[in-house]
Structure 1
Amino acid sequence: MEALTGQLIDYIRSQNIGPAAVFGYSMGGYIALQAAIQAPDTISRILTLGTKFDWTPDVAAKEARTLNADFLREKAPAFVNQLAEFHGPSAWEPLLPATVGLMEALGQRPLLTPETVTAVDIPVRLMVGDRDHMVSVEETLGIFRSLQNGSMVVLPETKHPIEKVNKAVLIWEIRSFMTL
């Protein structure tokens, strides 16, 4: 997580685009919030969707069980096809253990907690789907309550996979928040 956060910060600085408004889906929202804590000069506002905040060893182990290549081939072949298309036919599978390692590290030492996010003083809007089975409304609410300048949106009839999100609603949320 630290490396990914550093990459975001370095990219914003190297492209001279900071402070940048950032939309982060799932772990991307986690990275954006951590970047705002580490390098406040790089981020102007953050909009997240489906970002998991409740990381414990048990939660990490539960999520990691779903990131087994054989399990995915059997239970989610369409997802495997997406991974292969996005990352390459031979590159997606080696990413699974790295992702598991990232989750386990967060389970042992979550970076974003109600205490740490109080350092974020820029506008932040947390979005979560009401039918998201990975991220709960309650865990999102817990972080929202600790933000200095936060807002929260619960998207109706919305699951975690971004391809299942109503695109018109998502575009409206992004445009309305990022152009305030």
Structure 2
Amino acid sequence: MSRATLLTIALLAAGPALSDTAPVGNRVEVNGMQMYYEVSGEGDPLVVLHGAYMNIPSMGAIIPKLAETHKVYALEFQGHGRTTDLDRPITYPGLADDVAVFMEAVNLPKADVFGYSMGATAGLQLAIRHPEKVDQLIAASVAYDADGWQPAFRDFIPMMTVEMFTDMPFAEDYKTLAADPEGFPALVEKLIALEKEPMAWEAEVKALKTPVLIITGDADVATLEHSVAMFRLLGGGGMGDMGAPLPASRLAVLPATSHTAVIGQVDLLAALIEGFLKGETPKGMFQ
């Protein structure tokens, strides 16, 4: 099954998590659409970007957890959740540009960014295209090249059809939030096209100055080799304890974790994210 199929089955049925920080929802015009977003918590700003076929509630408990220590801006992408769709394809550069315009619209000059799956790849493009907007990036289940996806997933992409998704029970769940309850087939068609979009951003990733925390499951949609390659592009993968400081970017591999299991490990994710954003590192023998 595709990462989108697995993701939706596992998450779209989940309701919003309880939180002491009640989110405040609003809409803002972004590139011709009415984008829905929620703000919760207090602290340094953190923009949260969801995965394909997802919305704010289906991100689960990670948003209220992060809102305990940050002012979280969680948005819903084009055609997802309560955000309207429009007559244009969904592309990673386009999603990134939407986030940049959103940040301007809510008077957010710069923020940390946490993205999952499609949201992580959009966040990566945001750091590439709009580096002045991103302080630090957390990218969970991300790839910078289409060859980095697992072979099983790459083989499955040409087999995807709209009917494959519209016949699934979660297609009905889409209607409960959607600005256009009948818009799901059009969204699926665009997301299938997104899976076929060329991705080859090695040079751009290598040129990044933005610190990046790569989070991947050891059975994720991207291969482990690809995640390690990305970490090396960002200056990681060398030996510590040799006197030189550790790189600003980091790699975290979650054990026994598939793609759809990444976002549900809330306490582990929060600990990794907080340590990264604060610049905390485990102390070695020579420190």
Taking structure 1 as the reference length, what is the TM-score of the superposition?
0.80
Offset, 1:146: 0.2
Q: Which residue of 1 aligns with 2:157?
A: 63
What residue in structure 1 maps to residue 271 of structure 2? 172
- 2:256 aligns with 157
Write out aligned runs for 1:101-180 (5 A).
101-106=193-198, 110-113=199-202, 115-132=203-220, 134-148=221-235, 149-161=248-260, 165-180=264-279
Runs of 5+ unmatched residues, structure 1: none
Paired with 1:27 and 1:2, the residues of 2 have a C-alpha distance of 12
AA partner of residue 147 (structure 1)? L
Tell me the secondary structure at the aligned position of residue 46 of structure 1: strand
**More displaced 10-residue stretch of structure 1: 42-51 or 79-88:** 79-88
Aligned CA distance change for structure 1 residues 78 and 140 (closer, same or farther; 3 Å):
farther
Q: Structure 1, residues 115-165: CA drift from partner, whole Å, max 9, x if none?
A: 220121121010000122x22111111111101442100011211115763
Q: Deviating runs (4+, > 4 A) in structure 1? A: 58-61, 81-89
Amino acid aligned to 1:102: L
Aligned counterpart for 2:136 among listed residues 36, 40, 45 = 45
Report if the CA contact (8 A) 2:145-2:200 is conserved. no
Change (3 A) 1:17 1:42: same
More displaced 10-residue stretch of structure 1: 82-91 or 151-160: 82-91
| Structure 2 gaps, min length 5 | 1-91, 236-247, 280-287
**Highest RCO, 1 vs 2 (Cα 8 Å, sep ≥ 6):** 1
CA distance in 1, matches of 2:176, 2:154: 26
1:99 aligns with 2:191: yes
Percent of aligned pairs with the same amino acid: 23
User: TM-score w.r.t. structure 2 length?
Assistant: 0.53
**How has the CA–CA distance of structure 1 residues 164 and 78 changed in structure 2, closer, same or farther, with 3 Å as cutoff?**
farther
Q: Map Cα deviations across residues 35-80 of structure 1 (whole Å, 9 max, x no partner).
A: 1121211100000111133415x965633534x2432366xx4544
- Please give the alpha-carbon distance, in whole angstroms, between the structure 1 residues aligned to 2:102 and 2:166: 34
Q: Which residue of 2 aligns with 1:13?
A: 104
Structure 2 CA distance for partners of 1:145 and 1:84, relative to 1, 3 Å = farther
Question: Which protein is bigger by CA-based radius of gyration?
Answer: 2
Change (3 A) 1:89 1:157: farther
State whether structure 2 residue 118 is matched by structure 1 residue 27: yes
CA RMSD of aligned residues (A): 2.6
Say if 1:26 and 1:50, in contact at 8 Å, map to a contact too. yes
Q: How many residues align?
A: 171
Which structure carries more strand by proportion? 2
Distance 2:232 2:158 in 1: 28
Give the conservation status (yes or no) of the 8 Å contact 1:45–1:124.
yes
Higher helix share: 1
**Distance across 1 between alignment mates of 2:144 and 2:171:** 25
